[in-house]
Structure 1
Amino acid sequence: MNWREYQALQRVSELGERFLSYVDEGRGDPVLLLHGIPTWGYLWQGLLPALSGPHRVLVPDLLGFGYSDRRDCFDRSIGRQAELIDAWLGKLGLEHIHVVGHDIGGGVALRLATLFPRRVSRLALLNSVCYDSWPIEGMLQFGHPGAYRRLSATAALRLLKLMLRQGFARSPDDELLEGLLAPYATEVGKLSLIRNASALNTNLTTEVSPLLTRLELPALVLWGENDAFQPVKYGERLARDISGAQLVRVREARHFVMLDRPDEVGGHLLSFLGGAGAEPLPAGAGVP
């Protein structure tokens, strides 16, 4: 599925003065997939067919990202994102949901699980920001307010492609990179992404770090073990702090683990979330 086909699946939900674009596919226990920066819901398109068989899969574009509201002058932090996702789930009438988060989407998932625990039934974290593991240097530079004036949309896109390539075990094709960055190829999209990057705040994960040991829910920590952005040591720490969490290291995978190893990641998630076609996690998965 190319990015235009994926975008055609999106619906729109109003949240006060803002709006959220999202995909809602399948039936069954609801699963929420949260993307990171600088991607959007399209990040998960390869897993949609497998996960939407036994589950209702909801894939929002976070506010300011993808094709959700990108107007200027509002809070895009992961703290505010968690509050908006909680409000949106309430609007959909979903009291409990399985949550899967990647990158800053994992940070949002951690805040949902610790601060809105009634919402989260199961928690899966894929190469997630956590503790003081973030922001990475490239995003700090991109988020400087002056970047909007220094960089054209074309130049910004070129830099983002170079950055993204470091997140793959094998060089991704141009069509995939174009799809992941399509919403940010215009001046409006560029400014919105710069604002998103400027909102990255490590305090919003360190704040909830002491609460991780209090979590009482099934948890999976799934990590591309060669990630240079979010090293696997942070996944190991999460698995120690969240009681009973399973740690699965994915070999030959980097930050975009679901794109490097889609079949393996899909199998692990189905096993963890349950449903038809689920296979057991491999022997040896877990905290050493």
Structure 2
Amino acid sequence: MNWREYQAGQRVVELGHRFISYVDEGRGAPLVLLHGIPTWGFLWSGLLPALSMTHRVLIPDLLGYGYSDRREGFDRSIARQAEALDAWMDRLGVRDAVVVGHDIGGGIAQHLAIRFPRRVSRLCLMNSICFDSWPIEMMVQLGHPGVVRRLSAQALQRMLKLALKRTGFATAPPDGVLDGLLAPYATEVGKTSLVRDAAALDTNQTQELVPRLPHLGVPTRIIWGVEDTFQPVKWGERLAWAIPGAKLVRVEHARHFVMWDDPHAVMTALYAFLGVEERPQLEGLQGSSI
């Protein structure tokens, strides 16, 4: 599935004056997948066919990201994103779901589990922001307001592609994946929105959760590409120590985009966590290890 095909399958729901674009595929218990920065829901496209065989898979583009609302003038922080997702689930009639978060999506998932516990039946964090592990220097620089004036969308695309290709993947990503992950930000509107997204990154919003992590009562699984330089595995270990009963699954020879570096390992860990006994065949799973 290329990014255009993925985007063509998105739906839209209005939340007040804003809107969220999302994918809704499959049947069964709801499974919500949250992306990070600088990606969008397409991040999960390689796992979507397999997961939708056993679950109703819901993949939103965060506000200000992908093809959700990218206009100016609203709060894009992870705390606000969690509030928007709570409202989004309410609009869809989804009482609770297994929530999986990657990168800042993991921080949002933590907010959901702690602040809106009724929404999260199980929690899975993949190479997630946490504590004061973020924002990384690249995102700090991206969030400077002057970037909007200094860099064209094309120049920013080149810089991000180079950075993600060099350090985000353990091996070369499949053809079209890197272009797809950054596609929404290839226009001036997309570029400006991404700069605003980066400016909203605030380590205090995970630090404020730290005293509450030991009281998190939801079953939790942590899946981590151990060669990640953006979010080193020590942060996954710390999360596993802080959250009662959490188990850390290390994925060797994988970096930040663990779901592309080793989709088989990620799916195996997810199926085990979800309690899927009759597992679909994974031979056609798309990823760098195929």
Is the TM value for this pair above 0.5?
yes
- Identity across aligned pairs (percent)? 66
Counting only pairs closer than 5 Å after superposition, residues 102-181 of structure 1 correspond to structure 2 as: 102-165=102-165, 166-173=167-174, 175-181=176-182
Q: Secondary structure at the match of 1:13?
A: strand
Distance 1:140 1:267 in 2: 34
Q: Secondary structure at the match of 1:66?
A: coil
Counting only pairs closer than 5 Å after superposition, residues 255-266 of structure 1 correspond to structure 2 as: 255-266=256-267
Distance 1:259 1:210 in 2: 33
Q: Secondary structure at the match of 1:263?
A: helix
Q: Deviations over 1:108-148 (max 9, x none)?
A: 00000111111100000000000000000001001100000
Query: Which residue identity does 1:27 align to in structure 2?
Result: R
Distance 1:173 1:24 in 2: 24
Map of 2:192 onto structure 1: 191
Q: Check whether the contact 1:224–1:253 (CA below 8 A) recurs between aligned residues.
A: yes
Unaligned runs of 5+ in 2: 281-290
Q: TM-score, normalised on structure 2?
A: 0.94
Query: Which residue identity does 2:275 align to in structure 1?
Result: G
Distance 1:181 1:41 in 2: 11
Q: Check whether the contact 1:79–1:108 (CA below 8 A) recurs between aligned residues.
A: yes
Map of 1:2 onto structure 2: 2
Distance 2:267 2:45 in 1: 11
Map of 1:79 onto structure 2: 79
Map of 1:68 onto structure 2: 68
Map of 1:211 onto structure 2: 212
Map of 1:282 onto structure 2: none
Query: Which residue identity does 2:205 align to in structure 1?
Result: L
Q: Number of paired residues? A: 279
**Post-superposition offset of 1:152:** 0.4
**Post-superposition offset of 1:43:** 0.2
**Post-superposition offset of 1:276:** 4.7
Q: Does 1:236 align with 2:237?
A: yes
Unaligned runs of 5+ in 1: 280-288
Q: Secondary structure at the match of 2:184?
A: helix
**Post-superposition offset of 1:275:** 2.9
**Post-superposition offset of 1:209:** 1.0
**Post-superposition offset of 1:174:** 5.3
Map of 1:249 onto structure 2: 250
Distance 1:50 1:271 in 2: 14
Q: TM-score, normalised on structure 1?
A: 0.95
